[in-house]
Structure 1
Amino acid sequence: MTQEPVYPPPEPYTPNFLRRIRRGLYSWFGLLNEWDFRIPVGALRFMGLNLLLVNEPAAVRQVMVSEVEAFPKHPYMLWILEPLIGRGIFAVNGEEWAQQRRLLDQAFQMAQLQRVMPQMAAACQASLARLEAQVAGDLVAGRSVDADAEMTLVTADVIVRTILSRSLEGAEAEAIFAAFTRYQKRAGRALMLRLLRLPRRRLQGYLARDAAPIRAWLAAAIDARLNAPAAHTPGDLLAALIEARDPETGACFSREQLLDQVCVLFLAGHETSASALGMAVYLLGCFPEVQQRLRAEVLEVLGSRAGAPDRPLGFEDLRQLSYGAAIFNETLRLYPPLSFFSRESQANTELAGSRCPMRALVTISPWVIQRHEQHWSEPNAFRPERFLSDANADDRRWARDAFLPYGLGPRKCPGAAFAQQEALLVLAELVRRFEVLPDPEHEPELVARLTLRSRNGIRVRLRARS
């Protein structure tokens, strides 16, 4: 049996859903039980609401791809995000979503991956410098490094440089991260309390207190840009959002819509990436043979080009890191940053042979599907080989049919390629310069709220390579 990295095991089955909600106030994992990882569809009724957990891949595609209009995002998830992102693309449905997606797609085309590589590289180099300074002191003091905190900072720095053409560090970053952390905790509790029919307005007011400083900070940056002379405007993602025009209507983003979309991009662009990268660093420390193979791949790629091995990794180098991509995909399988997607059925229908009533809350959980006993061999084991081109037929099938960390269909995350490029760069540069070692006195305590995070951080030891 392959070694299994840390994960919160599902609770024993209980028919008492109120007890599960009580557990869910701390982490949405509390809603799950051991049977959820073995069945195609789980269904129950609670306080007049029908709840379905859909694990069967064909039914998942029915909800997220082939019949997506019949399963829009559930209102509970829309209002839980609204205090933070307003009516940004994650919080709307129908034609409003379609227009926003057309404008965002246009902006992302203008800010292509190769064009944003310098901003990613600059943030990565700043991160390495911070880690080098920490390691010098940590080795003397015998302490470890909080990889979770550093991955949160570097991913936020990447997205701020990409959107706003400036860096993010120090007290400014700490204040924003603290507000995000509080919002995460409150959002998880608010959803559980909403299931118990607590008033929506009161819960949104509870959330707005921590959303306000984040929105105010980003609003100030947007206003400064809108008021700046055109000659001084950098060619970043904010500029692309301002210039984007709907090809069907000619419409553009208003100032308030710009703020909502930038809040979405900041939330999605740093919070989800930080979650995945923190766990990837943890896994590298737990599996030294994987780390060594990644480092060998990085040095091989660098050695094939002029100026190696001291030059930074470039755009074309990252495209050759197939094992690095497999490591990150396996990290996303085991630790998907978004553990749950929720939809609302618009009509009476069936999912995998189970009745799905109108207005049911339909949940699709990457956390469950990607650890489901019917989909994966050794589902809780870390095996990057599942995602290599020479993987066996079963692994290739499930990597295609039961792997959805970014969602599926038209509402799939538009920043997936951005996240993959960022992760490969950070991990590859990290193993070039450091040996990642586990901290024997630390184990991450994972909780699922808006995203998957470790309650007690992710501590590792870093040893500088000569």
Structure 2
Amino acid sequence: MLELLRGSLLLSNLGFHQSLSMGWQDWVSLGHFLNICLSDSVAMKGILGFQRQEDPLRPLGVRPFSSHFMGFTEHMSFLIVSDPSIAKHILKDNSKAYSKGILAEILDFVMGKGLIPADGETWRVRRRAIVPALHQKYVAKMIGLFGQATNRLCKKLDAAASDREDVEMESLFSRLTLDIIGKALFNYDFDSLKVDTGIVEAVYTVLREAENRSVAPIPVWKIPIWKDISPKLKKVNKALKLINETLDDLIATCKKMVDDEELQFHEEYVNEQDPSILHFLLASGDDVTSKQLRDDLMTMLIAGHETSAAVLTWTFYLLSTEPTVMTKLQDEVDSVLGDRYPTIEDVKKLRYTTRVINESLRLYPQPPVLIRRSLEDDILGNYPIKRGEDIFISVWNLHRSPDLWKDADTFCPERWPLDGPNPNETNQNFSYLPFGGGPRKCIGDMLATFETVVALAMLVRRFDFQLAIGAPPVSLYCNAPFILTGWIDNRGNNSHHPRFENDRYTEDKTASSSGDAAARIPQKLLSHV
């Protein structure tokens, strides 16, 4: 998923310049910035990690001087920001002076003028239309949907555990979140946990193309003749055509349903047969073209799909490394849920479960960087920038800075008090930005948190996850084998939890094992910013 190039990188900070020659494994293209730079490259750790205690640039003779850094490649220059006050200035205090810039350019082919890439009046109009759809009654309905979808995944894992099969968990989490987002957005059941249909493959084809474009050194897709001679681009365009046709059909069907229904639209309107966001927008009388609706739906599909899958993947990795946290988590889930599907009231009581997700988002934020482009001259700290400057706000750096966090690299859900507010950019002074901040903050932050909390709770209620013995170190460049072991009684509940001793699994002799399944999780997660 990551593409590496040969070349040289020029680092500049407050007048200091140093040219670095790098080989194949050390050169980093734009995609690396979009993928949290967990690279072993000392140059990259310097660019996005210069606040770290180990001072990674020192072996190269490069000394970091402040909380912003300038990088250049042959194709672009960009300012990297790792200071919460500067992040607040860009995202909130002076947000009107910044656009999505290069991000909008990369995603234009699939998102068009959707909510994430859109700027100016289009963004304001679409946000005002979409935000009311995420009301309390809709959220409560979606929590039921999250539970049903996760239960289908649990059944799939039951079979894998019984057959002692290897399971690629990242792929299953991706399919789980695709099924959820399809129903939540436009009442379409991808059913991707069971089958691979043409539309499912089309969605993944488009997602892969978006990832590829984020790391491509040359935008060959802009060459007019390229679409006619490139088999890959032909496949992408065919996939886009199928997705657009499917969305057009869904929009037409939904419009007919809205025209035929007698239910009066109101502030917390929900159609029981179709509680989707699309149905709400059409029932509200939203005056918008089908093209704009497609852009909105595709934007939310991409933004709400891979990000949630990545959060779940990293959360289970972290839990596998801290068995005491897993035990505490399972105890809370057993106490609150029992063998029921979660309700919105249950989710509010799953406070430690929520803190696990909060801490996972701190250590592995999705997205790892926020991208902006200056629309006018500005001053960031004491650093002047010109109009048209591309800026990467390193959420990764902010979330792991030892100046901002005690034991910054340690997975510790207890750092967030259970009786305190959920951490966000406001109460953490912009040192915590899992959903961005300011006017352009993710509108689905609460829904995404509930989605991952429900999935996490239902999975740990039935299964235990452990890193496989002899697994290679986890990074963005390797696959991390997991061992999934489920203890399941006749009701389908996890009635016994295993003990962990000396980082090796030891079976509780009172439990009855239904088998082991090694689950492989590729750690190559690209999030759309």
What TM-score comes out, normalization by structure 2 length? Answer: 0.73
1:170-185 superposed matches below 5 A: 170-172=195-197, 175-176=201-202, 178-180=204-206, 182-185=208-211
Deviates more, 1:43-52 or 1:107-116: 43-52
What is the DSSP-based 3-state SS (H/G/I as helix, E as strand, rest coil) of the residue aligned with 1:235?
coil
> Which structure 1 residue ranges, 5 or more long, are not aligned?
1-11, 246-250, 303-308, 448-453
Tell me the CA shift for residue 243 of structure 1: 3.0
- Percent of aligned pairs with the same amino acid: 22
What is the DSSP-based 3-state SS (H/G/I as helix, E as strand, rest coil) of the residue aligned with 2:402?
coil
- Checking the alignment, whether the CA contact within 8 Å between 2:158 and 2:486 is kept in structure 1 is no
What is the DSSP-based 3-state SS (H/G/I as helix, E as strand, rest coil) of the residue aligned with 2:466?
strand
Letter in 1 for 2:100: K
Instruction: Work out whether 1:287 is the aligned partner of 2:287.
Output: no
> Which structure 2 residue ranges, 5 or more long, are not aligned?
1-8, 12-17, 52-65, 262-272, 490-529
Aligned to 2:296: 261
Distance in 1 of aligned mates of 2:172 and 2:78: 38
Letter in 2 for 1:328: I
- Checking the alignment, whether the CA contact within 8 Å between 2:466 and 2:482 is kept in structure 1 is no
Aligned to 1:316: 345
Q: Deviation string for 1:298-356 (max 9, x for gaps)?
A: 12223xxxxxx222222211111111111101111111121221111122221121122
Distance in 2 of aligned mates of 1:336 and 1:280: 11
Q: Report 1 or 2 for greater relative contact order, CA contacts < 8 Å, sequence distance ≥ 6.
A: 1
Instruction: Work out whether 1:53 is the aligned partner of 2:76.
Output: no
- Checking the alignment, whether the CA contact within 8 Å between 1:273 and 1:419 is kept in structure 2 is yes
Deviates more, 1:116-125 or 1:64-73: 116-125
Query: 2:397 aligned to 360, 364, 368, which one?
Result: 368
- Checking the alignment, whether the CA contact within 8 Å between 1:72 and 1:344 is kept in structure 2 is yes
CA gap 1:145/1:441 in 2 versus in 1, 3 angstroms: farther
- Checking the alignment, whether the CA contact within 8 Å between 2:160 and 2:167 is kept in structure 1 is yes
Letter in 2 for 1:90: I
Aligned to 1:358: 387
Query: 2:447 aligned to 413, 418, 435, which one?
Result: 418
Instruction: Work out whether 1:90 is the aligned partner of 2:116.
Output: yes
Query: 1:79 aligned to 84, 101, 105, which one?
Result: 105
Distance in 2 of aligned mates of 1:441 and 1:48: 41
CA gap 1:65/1:25 in 2 versus in 1, 3 angstroms: closer
CA gap 1:34/1:89 in 2 versus in 1, 3 angstroms: same
Query: 1:128 aligned to 126, 129, 154, which one?
Result: 154
Distance in 2 of aligned mates of 1:181 and 1:84: 9
Provide the alpha-carbon RMSD of the alignment: 3.2
Distance in 1 of aligned mates of 2:29 and 2:431: 25
Aligned to 2:29: 24
Tell me the CA shift for residue 397 of structure 1: 9.6
- Checking the alignment, whether the CA contact within 8 Å between 1:110 and 1:240 is kept in structure 2 is no
Runs in 1 of length 4+ with deviation above 6 angstroms? 394-398
What is the DSSP-based 3-state SS (H/G/I as helix, E as strand, rest coil) of the residue aligned with 1:364?
strand
Letter in 1 for 2:278: L
Query: 2:214 aligned to 188, 201, 217, which one?
Result: 188
Deviates more, 1:111-120 or 1:92-101: 111-120
Query: 2:355 aligned to 313, 326, 342, which one?
Result: 326
Distance in 1 of aligned mates of 2:113 and 2:204: 23
Distance in 2 of aligned mates of 1:204 and 1:367: 36
1:15-414 superposed matches below 5 A: 15-16=18-19, 19=22, 22-24=27-29, 27-28=32-33, 29=37, 32-34=44-46, 36-37=48-49, 38=51, 39-44=66-71, 50-74=77-101, 76-109=102-135, 112-138=138-164, 143-167=165-189, 168-169=191-192, 170-172=195-197, 175-176=201-202, 178-180=204-206, 182-190=208-216, 192-193=217-218, 200-201=222-223, 209=234, 211-228=236-253, 229-230=256-257, 231=260, 234-245=274-285, 252-302=287-337, 309-389=338-418, 399-414=428-443
Aligned to 1:305: none
Aligned to 1:456: 479
Tell me the CA shift for residue 444 of structure 1: 7.2
Distance in 1 of aligned mates of 2:330 and 2:393: 35
Distance in 2 of aligned mates of 1:178 and 1:397: 35
* Alignment coverage as a number of residue pairs: 427
What is the DSSP-based 3-state SS (H/G/I as helix, E as strand, rest coil) of the residue aligned with 1:106?
helix
Tell me the CA shift for residue 275 of structure 1: 0.7
Letter in 2 for 1:155: T
Letter in 2 for 1:156: L
CA gap 1:256/1:317 in 2 versus in 1, 3 angstroms: same
Letter in 2 for 1:33: K
Aligned to 2:466: 437
Q: Deviation string for 1:261-285 (max 9, x for gaps)?
A: 1111111111110011111111122
Aligned to 1:306: none
Q: Deviation string for 1:69-89 (max 9, x for gaps)?
A: 111111x21110011112211
Distance in 1 of aligned mates of 2:469 and 2:46: 29
What is the DSSP-based 3-state SS (H/G/I as helix, E as strand, rest coil) of the residue aligned with 1:84?
helix
What is the DSSP-based 3-state SS (H/G/I as helix, E as strand, rest coil) of the residue aligned with 2:401?
coil
Distance in 2 of aligned mates of 1:204 and 1:404: 39
Letter in 2 for 1:104: I
Distance in 1 of aligned mates of 2:333 and 2:439: 34
Tell me the CA shift for residue 177 of structure 1: 5.8
Tell me the CA shift for residue 400 of structure 1: 4.4
Distance in 1 of aligned mates of 2:225 and 2:308: 27
Distance in 1 of aligned mates of 2:87 and 2:325: 32
Tell me the CA shift for residue 294 of structure 1: 0.6
- Checking the alignment, whether the CA contact within 8 Å between 1:282 and 1:460 is kept in structure 2 is no
Distance in 1 of aligned mates of 2:141 and 2:371: 34
- Checking the alignment, whether the CA contact within 8 Å between 2:430 and 2:437 is kept in structure 1 is no
What TM-score comes out, normalization by structure 1 length? Answer: 0.82
More helix by share: 1
CA gap 1:80/1:119 in 2 versus in 1, 3 angstroms: same
- Checking the alignment, whether the CA contact within 8 Å between 1:318 and 1:421 is kept in structure 2 is yes
Deviates more, 1:358-367 or 1:48-57: 48-57
- Checking the alignment, whether the CA contact within 8 Å between 1:282 and 1:458 is kept in structure 2 is no
Aligned to 1:5: none
- Checking the alignment, whether the CA contact within 8 Å between 1:54 and 1:363 is kept in structure 2 is yes
CA gap 1:203/1:237 in 2 versus in 1, 3 angstroms: farther
Tell me the CA shift for residue 26 of structure 1: 6.4
CA gap 1:148/1:48 in 2 versus in 1, 3 angstroms: closer
